[in-house]
């Protein structure tokens, strides 16, 4: 995937007054750089990719595909390319579920998938995730960058947290004589990194969430 390391997105996302789309740059913890997006839905998929510990590379609008389909020359720029630590490559197109009902849209997304899979890569058409999961990941994303929480506080929390205890109990125990909320950032950083896990799809993050040590 070194071929993509110095590549630029094929389209440069622009914010224009009155434009329906929501575009910008996402500061990725995985890449330690900016990744462009062109909609809130793309941003949601970026967040989940950045949160996924199996993802080691994220590239926006990574390539332009050109093929002759039914006698016509067609081109397509996928939204994302994800590289996994296992070496697997996944090309992702983000599209609202309502748009997939349009036969022309479905066809425009189908032929790139056939070529990508023939190349030995995975192909994903993504239309969203459970709202609770997305809100929890958005909250944890505030702790995604190294240094957002002092490293010594994170390591102390990692050494002292007990597998299977509830978040509120962990906060009280780690805080000692301080307010429990003061121990929270270190635990949130551990949840973002995947060293701690909890069920993020069942309910909003709360003191009742059960923490599990991982790794």
Q: What is the pTM of this model?
A: 0.89
The CA–CA distances, whole Å, from 70 to 40, 51, 107, 114 equal: 33, 40, 11, 14
CB 132 within 8 A of CB 118: no
Per-residue pLDDT of the chain (215 residues; tens, 9 = 90+): 555 555 666 565 554 455 455 788 999 999 999 999 999 999 999 999 999 999 999 999 999 999 888 888 989 999 999 999 999 999 999 999 999 999 999 999 999 999 999 999 999 999 999 999 999 999 999 999 999 999 999 999 999 999 999 999 999 999 999 999 999 999 999 999 999 999 999 999 999 999 999 86
CATH of the domain spanning 131-213, picked from 1.10.10, 3.40.1350, 3.30.160, 2.30.30: 1.10.10
DSSP letter assigned to residue 211: P
Residue spans per domain, the chain: 2-126, 131-213
Six-digit token string for 143: 């702790």
The owner of tokens 């192909």 is 123
Q: Which CATH class is domain 2-126?
A: alpha beta
């Amino acid at each position: 995937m070194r071929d993509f390391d110095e590549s630029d997105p094929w389209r440069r996302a622009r914010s224009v007054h009155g434009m329906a789309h929501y575009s910008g740059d996402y500061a990725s913890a995985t890449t330690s750089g900016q990744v462009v997006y062109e909609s809130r839905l793309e941003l949601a998929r970026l967040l989940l990719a950045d949160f996924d510990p199996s993802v080691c590379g994220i590239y926006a609008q990574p390539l332009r595909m050109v093929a002759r389909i039914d006698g016509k020359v067609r081109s397509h720029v996928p939204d994302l390319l994800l590289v996994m630590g296992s070496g697997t490559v996944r090309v992702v197109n983000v599209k609202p579920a309502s748009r997939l009902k349009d036969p022309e849209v479905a066809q425009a997304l189908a032929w790139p998938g056939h070529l990508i899979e023939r190349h030995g890569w995975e192909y994903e058409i993504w239309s969203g995730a459970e709202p609770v999961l997305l809100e929890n990941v958005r909250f944890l994303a505030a702790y995604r960058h190294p240094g957002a929480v002092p490293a010594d506080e994170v390591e102390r929390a990692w050494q002292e947290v007990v597998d299977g205890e509830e978040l509120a109990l962990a906060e009280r125990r780690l805080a000692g004589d301080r307010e429990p909320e003061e121990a929270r950032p270190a635990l949130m950083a551990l949840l973002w990194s995947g060293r701690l896990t909890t069920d993020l799809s069942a309910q909003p993050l709360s003191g009742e969430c059960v923490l599990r040590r991982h790794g």
